Structure 1
Amino acid sequence: MSDSSRSLTHLNAAGQPTMVDVGTKTATRRVARARSRVLLGSEIIRLVQAGELPTRKGPVFQTAILAGIMAAKKTSDLIPLCHPLGLDDCQIQIDVVGPDTIHIICTATLTGKTGVEMEALTGASVAALTVYDMCKALSHDIVIQETRLLDKTGGKSDFHHVD
């Protein structure tokens, strides 16, 4: 790291894992958006655009949306040292953005003392994994190319990624 004033927040002075104490922080409205980019292939995109792929688990995109929301709500069970959060809102949007690519965007919202970046990232990731799982019978060439934080507001510092 180039900035020596920065340090890892989940390590104490002895270098041991620790949960961040947010007890003295003020609750603010916090919003985070994360995106997973999934290369599905043009044939799967064509099938989806022709009327959603029905599977035994349900329609692909709708099932992925539910899985992403459920995962965001369970982030503290999946990622060590994340605070359990009662989200105010979680939305998953899936858009076809090219002949073979989709974007999955998860927006997590909370009024609280800690941010929701991990919830947004988890929601987008699990939704992408669900799309893969439900479409893998058609192709194993599906690639989850990128999962990244797009923006966050309401904490100590705001962040916005520019593509």
Structure 2
Amino acid sequence: MIAHNFQSNIRELEGALTRVVAYADLRGKPLTCDMAEVALTDLLPQHNQLEPERVMDVVASAFGISKEKMLSRERTREAALPRQVVMYLLREEANVSLPQIGEVLGGRDHTTVIYACEKVADMIERDDRLRKQIVQIRETLYGRRPTA
């Protein structure tokens, strides 16, 4: 959970881990995910604050594509990849349901959303450039200063 939310900077990750360990130690209780979440409340992004429109705008801008083209039925990589990234981010960051994501993105089926989320997750593991781009998109969405 901690590593998922602090991907851009090793110092942020170390600081978050130190904070969580100290929090658990001060309370004299074993460390749990719930306790970590409480300890990092002011540092963690608020998932429910992400609006689908904002995610689409930020992703379109990051990929240098118009929102209309991204939402079109076009299947070129130029249009499909940003659309898939939007689906992935809405699922992972905003916890929007699969049918809702499909609806927001032009009435696509929930299975299309599942495929897109899995594909982007796989690509993040293999493609360092895309991973960095998604980290920058997340930083923009949450108002953090993007790191090179």
| Global fold match (TM > 0.5) | no
When the two structures are superposed, what TM-score results if normalisation uses the length of structure 2? 0.31
Q: Which has the higher helix share?
A: 2
When the two structures are superposed, what TM-score results if normalisation uses the length of structure 1? 0.29
